[in-house]
Amino acid sequence: MSRLDRFFEISARGSTLGTEIRGGLVTFIAMAYIIVLNPIILSGAEDVDGNRLEFAQVSATTALAAGVMTILFGVIARLPFAFAAGLGINSFLATTVVGSLSWPEAMGLVVVNGLIIVALAVTGLRRLVFDAVPMQLKIAITSGIGLFILFIGLVDAGFIGSTGIASPPVGLGAGGAGSINTVPTVVFVVTLLVTGVLVARKVRGAILIGLVAGTLVAVVVEAIWHLGSATEKPGGWSLSVPTLSGSPFAWPDLSLVGAVSLDSFGRIGILAASMLVFTLVFANFFDAMGTFTGLSREAGLADAKGTFPRLRAALVVEGAGAAVGGATSASSNTVFIESGAGIEEGARTGVANLVTGALFLAAMFIAPVASIVPTEVAAAALVVVGTMMATHLRHISFADISEFSVALPVVLTVVVMPFSYSIANGIGVGFIAWVVLRSAVGKAREISPLLWIVAAGFLVYFARGWIESLIGMG
C-alpha cells in the first residue's frame, strides 16, 4: 500500500484508496453511455463503398480502447482523467469523412491524426499552436461542436427533418411533416425530458440512467405495438429495434482491431486527405486541451497558468489515444469531461482511472445488451451532451462580443458547424473571418503567424474543387 500511495501520490493529494475507487466507479457510470452512443453513431453511416460497421463490433472495440487508454493514462500521467471515443470526431467521421472514403480508410486517417498529435506533444509544438489561437475561437470551436452534436441528435430522432422544399429547408417533425407524428420520436422527447431533469438535479450518471429508462420504455412500446424497423414500415424505429433475443452476454468480437488503411491519400488525393487529417487534429487538439484545463482546475491540481502535473506526458498519451481509437475502429479516444463526476466524488489520482478502465474492459462482454438501445433514445443523450458543450459560450465575455470583429468569427464558427453539417467548415470559416476582420480594424499585429498559416490552409481547403478543376483543365 505504501508503494501504491507513493507512486500515485494518494495521501499527498489529500485522498484515500477508498475515495479513489469510489471516484473511478462514478466516472464509469457517468461515461458508460459511450458504449451505446458511439456504435450507434458509427454503425449508422454507410461508407463510400456501401459498407457499414457492425454495432456489436464497434461496441466491443469502444469499450476496449476506452479501458486500455484510461488505464494507460492513469499509470503514466497519474491523473483521474478517463478516456473514451470523442463525441465530435465520431460524428465528423460518420457524417463527412465516409462520404468519400471507406471505413478502414477513415480510421487510417484517425491513426495518422493521433501520430501527428503525439509528435506535436513531444516537440512542444502542440502548446505553441494552442497558444496561437485566440481564446474566443477556442471556446467557439467547443461550443460549435456541441451544437453540431445537438443538431445530429434532433435529426436522428426525427424531431427535425428536411421539408423537401426550398423554404424553409428544415421543419419540425419526422421527415419534415410538420408535427411529431411517430411513436419513436415521442420516446425521444420523453427520454430527453427525463435525462434533462436528472442532469438539472445533478444526479450521478444522469445520462446513463436516462438511456436505460428510455430503452426500457422503448422495449415496452415495441412489445405492445410491434413497430419494427422504419425500413420495413412507416413509423418504425430508425435504426435498431429495441428487442433482445438470446443471451445478454457474448464474447467480444474484436475483428475491427487493425482494420485500417492508408489508401485514402490515393482515393481522394493528398490535398483533400491532408485537410481531413488537419481537421481531425484540430478537433482533437482543442477539445482535449480545454478538457484537461477544466478537469485539472476542478481537481485543484492546476497552477495559475493552468499547468498541471506531468502535462507533457498527458498530452503524449492523449495523442496515443487518438491512434489507438483509429486502430480499433472505435474513433479517436480522448479525455472525457465526464471525469469531473469522479473528481467531484473525491478522485485525485490515477488509481481512479484503474477502476474506470477495468470496468470498461468488463463492459466488452455486454454488447448484445447495448444493441437494443434505439437511435431515438441515444439521440436524447446527444442533445444533452451537445447542450453541455454549447454552454462553454458563457466563458466569452460581453466585452469581447460587443466588438464585431470578434463577434462575427465566433458566431460563424458556432453556427456553420451544425448548419453545414461539418466541423471542418465551422473551424475554417471562423479562422478566415478572424484574420480578415481583425486585420481590417488594425489588429493584424495581434494575430499569430501560425493562425495566418492555418487560415490560408483552410482557403485552399474550401477552394480545392475549383483548384482541381483548373488543374484538370490544364
Confidence (pTM): 0.76
Round to whole Å and give the CA distance between 247 and 224. 22
What is d(CA 47, CA 287) in angstroms, rounded to the nearest whole number?
A: 26
Looking at residue 385, what is its pLDDT? Answer: 83
Query: For residue 165, what pLDDT is reported?
Result: 62
Burial 397-423 (b: 16+ CB within 10 A, else e): eeeeeeeebbebbbbbbbbbbbeebbb
Give strand pairing partners of 84. Answer: 334
What does the block give as the cell for 450?
501560425
The segments of the chain whose pLDDT lies below 50 read 176-178, 473-474
pLDDT value of position 176: 44
Question: Strands 160-162 and 170-172: what pairing?
Answer: antiparallel
Q: What is the mean pLDDT of the chain?
A: 86
Give the Cα-Cα-Cα angle 310, 312, 317 (nearest 5 degrees): 95
